[in-house]
Structures are given as C-alpha cells and as structure tokens.
Amino acid sequence: MKSAKMLIAFAIASAVATSAFAAPPVKAVKSSKGEVLAGENGMTLYTFKKDKMGVSNCYDDCAKNWPPLMAASGAKPEGAYSIVERKDGSKQWAKDGMPLYFWVKDKKMGDITGDGVGGNWDLVKP
C-alpha cells in the first residue's frame, strides 16, 4: 500500500514537471499598440516576412539581431503554437506556423521598436 501511494505521488509529480515544458513560454504585455505577445521575460515577439510556414530564414547576423524564441527540449506544440526545427537542429517556437523572434534593441517590457524594421518585421498579437 505504501509503495502504491509513493508510485502515485511520483506519477503526479512527473506529470506536473512534464507539463511545465508543454506550454509555450509566452504571455501578453501592454504596448503603445495594445497587447502584444512577449516571451516569459516580457520582451515583445516578432515574425519575419521572409520566413515561410514552419521554416526559419533568420540565421547568422539576422539571428544576432533577432534572437529566436528557443524551445526547450521536451517542449510540446499547443494550440496555435508549434515548434520549428532550425537548420542546426535546435528548436524554435512558432505561432500559426511563423517562427518567433526577439529584437535586440527592445530594452524593457512593452517596447516595440522592432515593429516594421526594414519592412520585414511585425509584432505579434496574442
């Protein structure tokens, strides 16, 4: 009986730990253009017009300026959020199939200085 209770407790703890990786690490924050999607750190997320559904085309200098929202190992797609495999094998979160990125010039929660940069970057609404 005691070992059965321990087994149940372990199963519940494992399920809780696994679910921590299941949800995409995003939230809505307020900006001058209304609510925008942000990473757990509160920084605004963007999409790149040169990406295709499920494919990131932002690498090298692009990725230095526009760091991808990386997915932890064990992360699982949920709802509108999917996971894109980058050419180096790492994983990146996407919304509605479009990979998500931060902008290095955003400094605080709610900054949206990357919106429209080069005509290629759009902020993401929740």
Count up the domains in the chain and report the number. 1
3-state DSSP assignment of residue 113: coil
Q: Global pTM?
A: 0.82
Is position 13 within any domain?
no
Is position 79 within any domain?
yes
Is position 98 within any domain?
yes
pLDDT at 96: 97
| Lowest mean pLDDT, pick from 21-25, 55-59, 78-82, 84-88 | 21-25
Is position 19 within any domain?
no
Going by pLDDT thresholds of 50, 70 and 90, the confidence category of residue 21 is: low
Domain containing residue 37: 24-123
**pLDDT tens sequence across 65-109:** 999 999 998 999 999 999 999 999 999 999 999 999 999 999 999
**Degrees, nearest 5: CA angle 59-65-58:** 25
